[in-house]
Structures are given as C-alpha cells and as structure tokens.
Amino acid sequence: MSQLLGIPPQALFGQLLLGLINGSFYALLSLGLAVIFGMLNVVNMAHGALYMVGAFVAWLLLTYAGVGYWGALVLAPLVVGLVGLALERTLLRRLYKVDHLYGLLLTFGLALIFEGAFRHHYGVSGQPYPIPDLLKGGTNLGFMYLPTYRGWVVAASLLVCLGTWFAIERTKLGAYLRAATENPTLVQAFGINVPVMVSLTYGFGVALAGLAGVLAAPIYQVSPMMGSNLIIVVFAVVVIGGMGSILGAIVTGLGLGLLEGLTKVFYPEASNIVVFVIMAVVLMVKPAGLFGRER
Amino acid sequence: MRGGSPKVLLTGALLLLAVLAPYALYPVFLMKVLCFALFACAFNLLIGFAGLLSFGHAAFFGGAAYVAAHAVKEWGWAPEAGLLAATAAAGAMGLAFGLLAIRRQGIYFAMITLALSQMIFFLALQLPFTHGEDGIQAVPRGHLFGLFDLSQPLTMYYTVLAIFLGGFALIWRTVHSPFGQVLKAIRENEPRAVSLGYRTERYKLLAFVLSAALAGLAGGTKALVFQLASLTDVTWQMSGEVVLMTLLGGMGTLLGPVVGAALVVTLESYLASTSLPVPVVIGAIFVVCVLLFRRGIVGELRHRLPGMRRRRTDRPRTGS
Amino acid sequence: QGAAYSDGKIKIGILTDLSGQLSDSTGQGSIAAAQMAVEDFGGAVNGTPVELIFADHQNKADIGASTARRWYDVDQVDAIIDVPNSAVALAVQQITKEANRVAIFSSPASSDLTGKACTPNGLHWTYDTYALAHVTAEAVVASGLSSWFFLTSDYAFGHALERDTGAVVESQKGKVLGSVRVPANNADFSSFLLQAQASPAKVVALATAGADTQNAIKQAAEFGLGQSGKNIVALLLAISEVHALGLSATQDIMLTTPFYWDMDDETRAFSKRFFEKRKAMPTFYQAGVYGAVSHYLKAIKASGTDAAPDVMKTMKATPVNDFMTKNGSVREDGRVLRDMHLFQVKTPAESKAPWDYYKLVRSVPADRAFRPLSESDCPLVKKM
Amino acid sequence: MTGHTGDIILEARGLTMEFKGFVAVKEVNLQVRRGTIHALIGPNGAGKSTVFNLLTKFLTPTRGQILYKGRDITAMKPADVALLGMVRSFQISAVFPHLSVLENVRVALQRPRGTSFHFWKSEETLRDLRGRALELIEAVNLTPWADHLAAELPYGRKRALEIATTLALDPEVMLLDEPLAGMGHEDIEGTAALIKRVSADRTILMVEHNLSVVAHLSDTITVLRRGEILAEGPYEAVSRNPQVMEAYMGTGHA
Amino acid sequence: MPDGMRTTAARTGTAMLDIADLHGFYGESHVLHGVNIDVRQGEVVTLLGRNGAGKTSTMRAIMGIMGKRTGSIRFQGHELIGMAPHKIPRLGIGYVPEERGIFSSLSVDENLALPPVVKEGGMTVPQIHALFPNLKGRGATQGTRLSGGEQQMLAIGRILRTGAGLILLDEPTEGLAPVIIEQIGVAVRALKQRGFTILLVEQNFRFAATIADRHYVMEEGHVVDMIPNDQLHANMDKLHTYLGV
Ligand SMILES: Nc1ncnc2c1ncn2[C@@H]1O[C@H](COP(=O)(O)OP(=O)(O)OP(=O)(O)O)[C@@H](O)[C@H]1O
Ligand SMILES: Nc1ncnc2c1ncn2[C@@H]1O[C@H](COP(=O)(O)OP(=O)(O)OP(=O)(O)O)[C@@H](O)[C@H]1O
Ligand SMILES: [Mg+2]
Ligand SMILES: [Mg+2]
C-alpha cells in the first residue's frame, strides 16, 4: 500500500490532468445551466436528462442511421436543441409569470419523464458507443498514458466554452442577450423579438448539454441514468460559480474538476462530497457565489 | 374550534374514517400513507406557509429514520425514546441547514438545501452505523411506554395515527398561532415585515427547524413501521417526491399534503405491479400539476367551491 | 391432494427490479424464467393451480417490504422469489420469517442472508459475495496471478467483496498491493484506474457492481490497462452487462458465475427457449429463478402441503438438480451449495457467434465455493 | 413622546451610497427635528428612496453616519431600527396581499407583545388586539374593507392600509415614501389630514411629489438632486430657490 | 372620467401618429383614461403634466410594453394595438425611456450599437459623436459608469442610429445640468431639421417652449388641453393651474 502514501510528482500531474478533463465536462454542462438561468431564471433540472438524450441520440444515429461520431457531434446537439426549443415554447413559456420555482418543478418532472422513458425502452445496462477511429489509442506522456479521446474532449469542450463566452461577451447577439437579461422590456422596445431569443437561448443551453452527452458517449456507457447523478454536482458547480455567471460556470467547473481529482488521490472516499463541502464554505463567505452578483 | 359546523362535521367524519380504516384497508399501507402525509405536511409548513422551497427534506426524513432505527435496535431504546431522538436529531440537522441556507431565497435556497442533503446522503452511505446500502434491518418495534405491543398491526396503526394527528395538530396550531401570522406576513412581503421590526430570518429559521423536526418524526415513525431504515429515504428523489405530494394535494392548504401523500403512495403501490414505467407516470403528473393545477387538488376544490373559501389566507406565494 | 394447500392455490410472487439498475439482469427476464418453470411443472401441483404474480420493488426497501407484507397478509402468497438488491432482500427475509412463509433469494448478493440475518424461512439460491470472492481469488491465484489491486465500491457490498477476496488471496500466498475506495455512482474511473496502473500488481480486481463496473471496464479499456499487462477481474458481472459493453471492452476479463448458457446441452436447451422469449441469453440470476421455482414446486408436491416449515424441511432434504445445478444441496442455514466457475471473456476474434462470450478457466466444486458452516454466524447453526 | 420639539431626532452625516461606482447619494447631511414633518423632494432618481433605504438600514451606506436620538445606528439591522421606533412605508405599495386588512394591521400590533415566536399558542390570543386594529382601520376610512384580503383593495386604499399598519407600531419617527402616490383626490385630502393628525406626537419624514400637499404639510423641505442636497428650508424659501425651480419645479413661472 | 378633448389642429394634416381613446392598465390599476393625441410628420409635440399624469404610460402604450391597453393607436396607417411589441419599433419608432435604460453589462459602444437599424437615413456613429462630443472616446466604458447627462446622450444617440422617423423622448432633460439641456435642445432642433418627428415628454416646459410646435397637457390619465406653441404666453395662467407651479 505504500505507493499511495508518497505520491510521485508525475503521478500527481497525471491526476491533475484527469481532473482537468472532468472539469471540462462540468464546465460544459454548467455553462448551459448558467446560460439558461441567466436568461430565463429557470433552474433547468432537466439538464442531466438532456445530456443523456444527447448521448442516446448519438447512439441511435450510429445504430439505426449509420451516422458516425462526427455526424452525431453536429446532429445530436441539434436534435436536443430542438427538443429544448419545443419544451420552452409549449411548456416553460407558460410559467414565466409565476414563481421561478415552478420552472424548477416542471423541469424536474420532465427529467423524470425522459429518464423513465429511456429506461423503459432501452433498459439500464446502457449501450456501448465506440471511440471514433481517428481518436483511438493514446500517447504515453511519461507520467501517464493519455488516451487521445480524452485529449480531444478537453480541447473540444474548452473550445466550446470559450466560444460561448466569446459569443455572449463579445458579439452583437451576446449584447442582445445580456441586455435582455437586464431589461427585457426595453430590448423588446428596440424591435428585438425577445421571446424568440429566449426560446433560442434555452435551445442553445440544452444543446450544450446534448453536446456534452455526445462527448461523453464513448467514455461512459450510454445509459438512461448517466445524467441523474452528474447533474447534482453540476448544480453545485453553478451555485459555487454564481448563478447565471458564464465565466463563473467555466472557471468553477474546471477548478472543481481539479480539486475533485486531487481528492480522488488523497482521500477518495470524500471525492463525491468535496464539491458540496466547498459549496457550503463558499456560500458562507460569498452568498452569491464566486462570480455571482447579489440579486 | 370556531369555523362553522360543516368544518366540525368534516373533521369528525375524517377522524372516524381514520379510526375505522384498518378494518377495510391494509394497515401497513395506511401507516405508510400516514407517515408520508406527516412528512408532506411538515414540508408544506415550509413551502406553503413560509414560502421556502426546500429540495433537501429527505435528509431529515431519512436521517431521522436511521437515528430511530439505530436507537431502538442497537441501544435497545423504547420506541417512544427512539422517535424522540429521531425528532430531535432532525431538528438539529434543520438548525444546521437553516443557519446556512436561510439567508438565501427562492432558487438559491432550494439549491443549497439540495446540496446539503446530498452531504447527508453520502454520510448515510459511509457511516458505519447506517450499514451502507443494506440499511438498518430488522428493527424491533418494541412496546410503547412498555405497555402496548407494537408488533400487533392494529396497535401499531393506532400509534401511527396518534403520532400523525399529533403532528398535524401541531402544524395546524402553528399555522394558526401568533407565530403563524408572522410567518404568513413574511411570505407575503418580507421587506415589509422587516420594516415592521420582525427579524425575519429567525422566524424562517424556527419554521425550518419545526418542519425538519416533524419530517424527522415522520421518518422515525416510518422506520418503526417498516422496521428498517434505508438509503431510499435520503435520496434527492425522495425530496422530489415530497414536493410532488404537496404540489399535487395543494401547497399551503392544511389537508392538501395529506391527500397528495395518499394519492402518490397509492399510485406507487399500484404501479409496482403493472408494467407502466413508474418515473414516467410520476413525472407526467408533476408536469400536469405545474402547468394546470398549481393550486393542487384541495386548493382547486377550495377555489371552486365558494363555501370553502371564506378566507383564502393560506394561499402560497406566486409571482416573482 | 389439492385440499392440503391452504387456499386452493399455490401463489408465487416474483419480487424484482423492473425499472432500476438490475432490471436488465433480473426484471422481466426473471419473470419469464419463473413462468417457464411453472409451465415445465405443468402449471399445477397435485391438481392445485400455480399462480404467478410479480411486482417492482423499485430498489426501495420499504416498497419491497410493504409489497411482501401485503402479498403475505392479503394476497395469500406462499413464496417470494428473486429479490435482487440486498437491502430489499434483508427486509423481505425478516418479513417472511414473521409471516412464516418461504423466500428464495436467487438474485441478491449479501452473504448475510445466510449469515447473521439467516432465518428458517429463507433460502439463498444462486450465489453470494463470499462465494464470488472465494472462487475468484482461489481460481485466479491458482492460475498464477498473485499480486492484486482493488477498485472497491465504497459501500458494504464492495467492502465485503474486497475483504473476503483479499483474505483468500493472502491465504494462498498472494499479495494485495493496494486498493482504492471508489465513491458510489461515480461515473469517472480514470483517476482510480491510473492509480491501479501505477501499482505493480498483476490483477486489478473490480469490487463493484452495476453501472460502476460497466464504466470501470469501459474506461480500463480506454486507458489500455490490458495492454499494460494488467489482468482485470470483475468480481460481479452478468452476461447481460458483457453483452452491453461489447467484447472489445470486456475481452480477457475474468469473472465468476454459477451459470453460462453454453456449458452443456441442458444449459443450451434452456437458454435457447429463454432466448426465444426474451431475445437475450439468460443471466445467472434469471437461470437461478428457474431453479428456485422448480425446486419449490417439487418440494411442495413432495410434502403435500404449502405450510412453510414442512416445505422448508423438504427443500433442505432434497438434492438440487436442474439444468444449471448438478448435485446441489441446501444447507441448514439456507445456503444452496453449487459449483461455481471462473470464466474469461473471449476476444472478438475468438467469439464465433452472437453471445459466444466466455471460455472456462476452472471450476470450483460446491463444497469449496461457499462459506463453511464452521465460519457461519447464522444463529440457526448450532456450534459444537 | 415627551421630547420637546426642536431637538434633532434623526441625523445623517456625510451619507454616501455608491452602487458599483454610481454614486446615488453623495455627502448628504440631513437633520430631522423632533415633532416636525420633513419632506424630501427632488426629481426621479435624485436618491430620495435611496436615502430612505439608508436611514432605515435596508441599504448600508458606503460612507457616512446615521444617528437616531443621538445614537449611532449605522451598523444596525433594519428590523432593529424598527424596534427602536423608526418605521417606514414603501414607494411601491407594501401590504401583505393575502392577509385580511384586519390581519395586516394586527401583524404590526402583535409585534410588541413578544409572543410572535409562540407557535404553540392559539391565534385567539391575539383577539384582544382586534379593537385597536379596528380603531386604526377606522382612522384611515377602511372599516368597510376590514375583512377583505388586502389584495382586493384598490391601489389608493392599499396606501391607506399601509399607513394604518405603520401607525400600529406607534412609531416615534415615520418615514413615508410617496404616501399619496396613486390616490384619488378625495383620498389625498383625507390622507393628508391623517398625516397631519398623527404628526401631532411624532416625527415624520416623507417623500412626496404632490407639491400642494408638501406645501401644506411640511415644516421643512429638503430638495435632493443627483444624490446631493440642493436646497433646504421652509416651502416658501425653497420654492423660490431658482436652482430648485430649474431642477425640479421648472423655471416656467419665474 | 370625461373624455379628453379632441384636437382640431391636427385633424387638418395627415397624422403620422393618431391616438384615440387610449386606455391603459398596470395590473389592477387603470392609469390611462381615454387619451387622444395626433402628431403630424415633422412636428415636435410635447406632453406636459405633473408627475404621475400618465405621460410615460402613454409612451409605453405606444411601444406596446404596457400591461393592457385598449382604444386605437395608428402609426402611418398601422394599428399598433394588438401588434407584437418587437414589431412596433420596426415600423420606425424609436423610444428613449425615462430611466434611460442604459445597460450596465454592456460597454458604451455596445449600448450605442444595440438597437437594430430599422430604416435608411439614420445617423452614423461619427455623426452622433459630433452631436454629443462627450461620448467620444468613452466607447469601452461600462454603460452605467457614465454621468447621468452622458447616459441621456447615449440613450438618445443610440436611437438616432436606427433611422426611426418618430422618436419618443421621455423627459430627456430630467436631472440634467442646464448646459446639457441646452445641448439637447440644439440636438432636437437639428433632428427636426432633418425631418424627424418627435414626441417629447417634458416637465420643464420652459425648455419645451423653445423647441415644440404644440403642447398637450395631461392630467390623471387623459389629455385636458392642447396649446400651440405660439399661444403659450397667452395661456400661461391656465398652464400654471395644470402643472401646479
Ligand atoms: N440597487 C441599485 N443599484 C444601482 N443603482 C441604484 C440602485 N438603487 C438605486 N440606484 C440608483 O440610484 C439613483 C437614486 O435612486 P432612488 O431610488 O433613490 O431615486 P428617488 O429619488 O427615490 O427617485 P423616485 O422619485 O423615482 O423614487 C438612481 O439613479 C438609481 O438608478
Ligand atoms: N409599473 C407600474 N405599475 C403600477 N402603476 C404604475 C406603474 N407605472 C406607473 N404607474 C402609475 O401610473 C400613473 C401614471 O404614471 P406615468 O409614469 O405614466 O406618469 P408620468 O406622467 O410619466 O409621471 P412622471 O412625471 O413622474 O414621469 C402613476 O399614478 C403611476 O403611479
Ligand atoms: Mg396457498
Ligand atoms: Mg414619466
């Protein structure tokens, strides 16, 4: 057992890298949540389920339509986004006038339906999804063996995160979004169709979840319950980062991935709860989260 | 109580029904309904009368079940002592949760309670006394006050009924107490309550602790009824379930959670022996309730039947 | 004579998981297996019809317990069979004793069911954690792989497996070089796999279950654990899970099971029938349900009554023989003794047909596979 | 309330409030004399409500000091300020919508009793407050509404209810934020008269746009503009101040 | 409530904007009680009235961002009541709200670029900078960091970019220093010269008198009078009673 006690620095390095990989998943998922919360004030409890749907769509495309990974990478988020759009238009929209908590409850119910329906149809064992040929294999970095696919996941999700951040903070469309978050009425009075923008935002937010699902499919078994446990952690990430803060979601996602990675080495039993401990501490010191604004 | 004879009659009829029920229906089922009804009522005290949505109430319910089961099984405590311990433990947990969460509102409050309850879940999985995923099994029911043999189904039933009625009465009293008045005022307009000189955080905290303790009482009772305490009761899905019961029955109505709990428990036990996917049905009910019947069954009834709406002071907060 | 059966009916309840983690390896397949057993028995015992009912315990101990109670109290169920999920099984064990009926556990793992939680009314049919640990450790060490590293689910099931397996490894002069406790429902194993990879141990043993095992196996393949000379041993793995993961992820993994469809003519015959119903080969859990139902019906027929004490006595006195069980026996603590087998998963190249997944490494006879009575903490067992 | 009029009961010194670099209130020195009606006027966004929020501790000032009866209350919590006898109303009507009018007032009346944490007592223990509550309701002409939910009141009546609720606490200092906003003519007169009446034994600081009422009621007027005090004094003086005309009243009649 | 009087002056020309019997509500409170207003192409028209008279509400009703409204608002032949709020500005109506509505999460440049261009002939950014020199060189500043007056300029400037032919200005001089008010007066006259039509809410009617063609006076949610600018002096007493100053 002695190897575990004195961890050589390279091994630690490997663990940090893995933490970063996980963190990029957290970042991608919490980014979607943050976008949705920022614009719609809805805590999207269905996010984990839609992440699962994203992975399943990829699998279905492969199994029944012969569409491979790269096609799925585009199509699955699109499908999930359209599902989100439909949900927003038909259901969520009716709740904006009442307490935000009803949005949370509605999406909670939707999550149950999605997960239950997939479980009913496809069972729980999950489905295998192969790593695409281009990304098979790995590199021996000396201190660890890094599967190429994992490297791709980090790169892809960081790219999407930064892209989203850029789109929201640095473009015209992003300016509309930010302005509409502050004062939707006035933005409407400038001739911008805010309701459509809100729908699209929700669609985009859940499409991010769908994308995360496709990225996850080759790593995890594609199973109906894959999102339900992850989502609670992602919520904690968003709360720590500050609800609605884009940058907060990204930075906290990565940071917590790293921290969790370290915990897995030094005290693995606690690695599932470290996020919640950090959350409690952060909220005591900064009630609005690390990057959040007091509302 | 004042409030016209129809109310007295209704109360009497319901009581009679509760007393006679075990002769018609299966007692364990009834006891389960009562446990969940008390749990939902306790939860409703918070959401319906203080406007706070806790998404972590399973921690109190399930946590207290472990405490009761352990005290009775391992320490050989009498059932009443076990229940007391469970209630106190849940109250203490509520105090800890409350101190952390109560300053936040709405969604933040919900998320924080959710996260805290996840900690309790992991503790329940890890601590040796909980026996991990096997739970504490074969908990003896013992003799209440050393006199009544609780292994007799009817004795157990009437004990559970008494506990439920006690808890319900306490909630009723709380809602209709000076404290309840302030609570309602805070729910309606917190800044105004502050400006009148109420330290609203303390009131909300007390409400939270009360609600947690009663949820604990329900959980402890359930542990005795089923003679086990397991992880099921501390999962976040259980927190969601109690929200569903309350929503379905009617938030902020006293009887609503009872009706909601009875419905959900019946539904679950019915669905167990069909091939319908349980979560889908539950989820669909959730969605329909949120979209169409936000007032819940009892709430809608009261809204529709003019005779019942003499005073609509128990309505939940909506809007912003 | 039909009159000897309490309510003119033999009623068997299949309490199983129809929606949760275990629903693929038990669930509808368990029900189907039970139906096959009843049909094969002719649908009646001495003229008394056999009725089968089922329910989903949703992996909740309280739902399982209340279903069991209602079945006994209201529905006059005579025996409950299957019960995946140890927490539910332990609760049902207790209730069955109080109701004085019969429970035959074919799917749960916990060896406590015939240990400190044993009752005169319960049989533990197919396997248990002790057997998995012992058979795997003994057989793997005997094949020359003696240094071990554990990936252990951080709850009672995982702890028990690691403890029991580790003890056997060391008693066989093997070495446990390290272990890491994996939190439950943890989808990402990369960090733990890396720790395993860094260890010089030859064997990486997965003391995990369900989705955890699947994700661990999938990611072990991704991180090339096999290529780096590690032998992966899954302490609990059902064929449905191997099927779901595919051979490229599972190849070369070693696992212990009491049943594989392609062992002999009898297993193949049963499995073929089962496959026609379910479009999947039976798991060892489901095969166990068939055996349990058959044995119960045989005992009822032989004893001419459905009164639990008599039936239990007959079941314990009768040797167990069915398509999967050769010379099995039921011990006084309720443990069914049967041969267990260590298999290795074939490589995609070795696999010749769909579901052609396993090759036998070695078998361990019934008397060596299970916990001896001398070590038992079952209160029913009178110690000298 | 025996304090002689004339001494300073509420004072702000160098009060400054910044919101993320935006200075809403800047170096405001305000002295409210006991027993007077003091009006705070100024264009929208001048910082009147912010000053109110600062004085009643709903906001914490960036800089400056607040003294109430000579005591520094800058670091106090809002509820504690109310307990000291300084109670406010809100600009946007602040009633408890789903309590009845009677209950609205009673919630305020029950506070000094100290039984407000008693969840085991019956509501009936509050029954004896009914008389006093009805008196207050009568004072603002709400008697016919007493058993209605506050939500059912027309806007102007809600403002009246708010005043009744505030009065229930028998505050030494009342801060009224636009108490007449949204009221019809007849209500304005009645409410203005009510304010005058209740001011007899207390101090009132109010924000109000209705200049004729301000002129009629107030002893002193402070004009705020862009967070700063522009002018202060009796109505006659202030209304002739050209700066005030320009910034607030308009220069058209000069 | 008696109906507001109908103006005859506007009836003669073609009204660009024609508001008839407009009622408006905020939730339960009924704040506009039958407003009648006409504005012709190229005119500068003011709404005068005390605080709370309903001037802002009238503008919000035109823009369709008020809870509920009934009656008729016609703009160049289009009926605005019932139209989706985001379509109204696209007809060529620009709105500068009372509270300015500068977005704090946007920089000055982003604020300026925010409203989409709806018609040809809007000002370019250099032209706006020439009109309001204070905004030059402040592009990267956070919008709400600007002084109140500068925010007002920004709010007007961003609407000028859009090319909207009718501009609703709600109290553009509120809280502004006299110099800036003067500057805005210059700007409004310049706009008028370029053919813009302007509906202006003003408390400061001395300022209004320097730029407007006609004045509507509102009280308690309806129009009580209409005074052409050249008759302002003759009507000074009346105005004093209306406005209470
Ligand atoms: N929480 C806040 N964050 C940022 N700025 C604020 C905040 N609250 C107020 N302000 C700003 O401070 C200034 C003063 O606001 P305040 O509400 O005190 O004005 P007021 O004089 O009461 O106006 P009114 O007559 O409209 O009530 C305004 O410009 C406002 O935008
Ligand atoms: N959002 C709202 N909800 C309820 N009532 C409102 C709302 N906005 C304005 N009011 C009320 O509507 C009436 C008219 O307000 P409006 O803002 O149109 O007046 P105004 O003439 O623009 O006044 P000011 O000179 O203060 O800007 C007022 O009584 C005001 O209190
Ligand atoms: Mg029978
Ligand atoms: Mg206005």
pLDDT in tens, A256-267: 998 988 888 888
| Contact present, C274 and C306 (Cβ < 8 Å) | no
Res B2: pLDDT: 46
Res E6: pLDDT: 39
**pLDDT of residue C377 exceeding 70:** yes
* Residue A22 counted as domain residue: yes
* Residue E127 counted as domain residue: yes
Query: What is the percent of chain C where pLDDT is above 90?
Result: 40
What 3-state DSSP class applies to C109? coil
Q: Which residues line ligand 2 (CB under 6 A)?
A: D 44, 181-182; E 26, 29, 31, 49, 51-57, 98, 203
Q: How confident is the model at residue D252 (pLDDT cuts 50, 70, 90)?
A: very low
Give B216-244 pLDDT, tens digit per residue: 999 999 998 888 888 888 988 889 889 88
Contact B312 D149 (CB under 8 A): yes
D window 4-63, beta carbon within 8 A of E? 20-22, 43-46
Give the whole-angstrom CA distance, residue B33 versus residue B53.
Answer: 22
Range of the domain at A89: 9-285
Residue of chain E minimizing CA distance to A182: E103
Q: Which residue has the tokens 């007169």?
A: D189
Res C206: pLDDT: 92
Number of domains making up chain E: 1
C/E touch flag: 3 or more CB pairs below 8 Å: no
* Residue A291 counted as domain residue: no
Range of the domain at E102: 40-65+91-243
Mean pLDDT of B285-302: 83
Average pLDDT, chain B: 83
Residue to mutate among C147, C180, C188, with most A CBs inside 10 A, is: C188
Pick the closest to residue A35 from A213, A249, A285 (CA basis). A249
For residue B230, give the nearest of C62, C94, C157 by CB distance: C62
Contact A106 B240 (CB under 8 A): no
Res E177: pLDDT: 56
Quote the minimal CA–CA distance from B213 to chain C in Å: 21
Ligand nearest to the CA of E146: 1
Mean pLDDT of D34-45: 82
Contact B28 C86 (CB under 8 A): no
Query: Which residue has the least CA distance to atom 14 on ligand 1?
Result: D47
**pLDDT of residue D113 exceeding 80:** no
Mean pLDDT of B57-82: 90
Res E12: pLDDT: 44
Mean pLDDT of D131-139: 86
Q: Is A122 on the interface with B (CB under 8 A)?
A: no
**pLDDT of residue A58 exceeding 90:** yes
Q: Is C181 on the interface with B (CB under 8 A)?
A: no
Give C137-177 pLDDT, tens digit per residue: 988 998 888 899 999 988 888 888 999 899 999 998 888 99
Give C97-127 pLDDT, tens digit per residue: 988 999 999 999 888 899 888 999 999 999 9
What 3-state DSSP class applies to E37? strand
**pLDDT of residue E73 exceeding 80:** yes
What 3-state DSSP class applies to E227? strand
Give the whole-angstrom CA distance, residue D101 versus residue D97.
Answer: 9
**pLDDT of residue B212 exceeding 50:** yes
**pLDDT of residue A76 exceeding 90:** yes
Q: b vs e for B276-304, b when ≥16 Cβ sit within 10 Å of the residue's Cβ? A: ebbbbbbbbbbbebbbeebbbbbbbbbee
Helix A274-285 × helix A246-266 angle, to 10°: 130
Q: How confident is the model at residue C8 (pLDDT cuts 50, 70, 90)?
A: confident
B/D interface, count of CB pairs below 8 Å: 117
**pLDDT of residue C228 exceeding 70:** yes
**pLDDT of residue B246 exceeding 70:** yes
For residue C244, give the nearest of A130, A221, A271 by CB distance: A221
Amino acid at E222: H
| Contact present, A88 and A199 (Cβ < 8 Å) | yes
Q: Is D199 on the interface with B (CB under 8 A)?
A: no
Q: How confident is the model at residue B319 (pLDDT cuts 50, 70, 90)?
A: very low
Give A95-142 pLDDT, tens digit per residue: 887 877 788 889 989 999 999 899 888 877 778 888 888 887 777 777
Residue B2 backbone phi and psi in degrees, to 5:
-75, 165
Give the whole-angstrom CA distance, residue B13 versus residue B15.
Answer: 5
Mean pLDDT of A164-181: 86
Residue E40 backbone phi and psi in degrees, to 5:
-95, 160
User: Residue C230 carries which DSSP code?
Assistant: P
Res D156: pLDDT: 67
Q: How confident is the model at residue E9 (pLDDT cuts 50, 70, 90)?
A: very low
Amino acid at A230: L
Res A60: pLDDT: 94
**pLDDT of residue A6 exceeding 70:** no
ipTM of the complex, rounded to two decimals: 0.78
**pLDDT of residue D21 exceeding 90:** no
For residue C245, give the nearest of A149, A221, A265 by CB distance: A221
Give D50-88 pLDDT, tens digit per residue: 888 888 888 889 989 999 888 888 888 888 888 888 888
Res E5: pLDDT: 40
Compute the distance from residue E115 Cα to the ligand 2 centre, in Å: 25
Among B109-113, B143-147, C250-254, C305-309, which stretch is predicted with the lowest mean pLDDT? B143-147
Res D225: pLDDT: 83
Average pLDDT, chain C: 88
More confident call, B127 vs A79? A79
**pLDDT of residue D100 exceeding 90:** no
Highest mean pLDDT: which range of B31-45, D43-57, D58-72, E140-154: B31-45
Cross-strand bridge partners of residue A147 = A138
Give the whole-angstrom CA distance, residue A98 versus residue B319.
Answer: 4
Q: How confident is the model at residue A212 (pLDDT cuts 50, 70, 90)?
A: very high
**pLDDT of residue C293 exceeding 70:** yes
Quote the minimal CA–CA distance from D158 to chain B in Å: 13
Residue of chain C minimizing CA distance to A10: C198
Residue to mutate among C12, C66, C111, with most B CBs inside 10 A, is: C66
Query: What is the percent of chain D where pLDDT is above 90?
Result: 6
Q: How far is CA C273 from the centre of its chain?
A: 21
Helical H runs in chain B? 4-24, 27-50, 58-73, 79-101, 106-126, 153-175, 178-188, 190-195, 200-226, 236-249, 256-272, 278-292, 296-304
Which element (helix H / strand E) includes D110? Answer: helix D101-110
Res A247: pLDDT: 86
Pick the closest to residue C109 from C91, C93, C124 (CA basis). C124
Give the whole-angstrom CA distance, residue D44 versus residue E171.
Answer: 10
Q: Which residues line ligand 1 (CB under 6 A)?
A: D 19, 22, 24, 42, 44-50, 91
**pLDDT of residue A5 exceeding 90:** no
User: Residue B136 carries which DSSP code?
Assistant: B
Res A291: pLDDT: 82
**pLDDT of residue D248 exceeding 70:** no
In this structure, how many other beta carbons lie within 10 angstroms of the beta carbon of residue D210?
Answer: 21
CA–CA distances in Å: residue C314 to residues A65, A224, C306, C320, C330: 56, 44, 11, 11, 10
* Residue A3 counted as domain residue: no
**pLDDT of residue E1 exceeding 50:** no
Q: Which residue has the tokens 């985001």?
A: E86
Res E238: pLDDT: 81
* Residue E130 counted as domain residue: yes
Give the whole-angstrom CA distance, residue B18 versus residue B135.
Answer: 31
Mean pLDDT of C8-33: 88
* Residue A64 counted as domain residue: yes
Q: How confident is the model at residue E179 (pLDDT cuts 50, 70, 90)?
A: low
Give the whole-angstrom CA distance, residue D33 versus residue E157.
Answer: 45
Q: Is A290 on the interface with B (CB under 8 A)?
A: no
Q: Which two tokens stand for residue E126?
A: 């250099």
Res E71: pLDDT: 92
CA–CA distances in Å: residue A201 to residues A90, A208, C27: 15, 11, 41
| Contact present, D58 and D73 (Cβ < 8 Å) | no
**pLDDT of residue C2 exceeding 60:** no
Q: What is the CATH number of the domain that holds A169?
A: 1.10.3470
Concatenating the DSSP letter of every residue in D30-82 gives EEEETT-EEEEE-STTSSHHHHHHHHTTSS--SEEEEEETTEE-TT--HHHHH
* Residue A2 counted as domain residue: no
Among A137-141, D45-49, D63-67, D185-189, which stretch is predicted with the lowest mean pLDDT? D185-189
Concatenating the DSSP letter of every residue in B281-296 gives HHHHHHHHHHHH-TTH
In this structure, how many other beta carbons lie within 10 angstroms of the beta carbon of residue E124?
Answer: 10
Q: What is the CATH number of the domain that holds E138?
A: 3.40.50.300
Contact D43 E174 (CB under 8 A): yes
Compute the distance from residue C381 Cα to the ligand 3 centre, in Å: 29
Angle made by CA atoms C274, C278, C281, in degrees to the nearest 5: 55
Mean pLDDT of E211-216: 91
Res E147: pLDDT: 66
Number of domains making up chain A: 1
CA–CA distances in Å: residue B278 to residues A117, B265, C98, D64: 10, 12, 29, 61
Amino acid at D77: K
